Amino acid sequence: MILLIKGMVCNRCIYVLEQEFLKLRFEIIDIELGRIVLKDTEDLTMHLSTIKSMLEKYGFELLFSKTQETVEKIKELVETGITMQLDSGIPVRFSLLISNKLNKSYDALSALFSSIEGETLEKYIILRKIEKIKELLVYTNQSMSQITHTLGYSSPAHLSNQLKKYTGFTSSYYKQIRRDKLAIIEEQSDKI
């Protein structure tokens, strides 16, 4: 993610912000006057208010271009869509959700997203769903069939193939993590 920073005027500014972003545990890919490129993580957008506060503490200001604001809104809508699917079990057509909420064509928004993020919007949606699938496998008792239905996949096989393709692991790997966690909890409760 590229952050544009108002008020960076010297090498000392670069040094200060580099140290502060490291304290916040963000990986800096590049930093120069007025611009910081951070490794994109799923929680980066959730920490924007923390980043803004830190910048203001040192007299800097976070600048968002209209394009970046739109990309952030798209990311928020993807999260909203996934949450809607989880809550209702009804598949969400992300193209309709995003284009209707932002009043622009999905093709234009998808192209804009790709130009800023360096990956397609479709891949981003898949990756966010994969993160949710991993979470459901590790922290819930839901079966692959239930997760398939909840997240709008056509079949458990399709979901399994995507999980393997993007993580390198099968659903049984994540289910084993769940069993291991439960075994540890049970072992600890037996000691009490």
pLDDT at 65 over 70: no
The answer, yes or no, to whether residue 47 has pLDDT greater than 90, is no
Among residues 165, 164, 146, which one has the least CA distance to residue 155? 146
Mean pLDDT across the chain, nearest whole number? 88
pLDDT tens digits, residue range 86-124? 988 888 999 999 999 999 999 999 998 988 888 899 999
**pLDDT (mean) for 170-186:** 89
Tokens representing 73 are: 């809104």
Residue 46 has pLDDT above 70, yes or no: no
Q: What is the pLDDT of residue 190?
A: 76
Section 7-29 average pLDDT: 89
d(CA 86, CA 5): 36
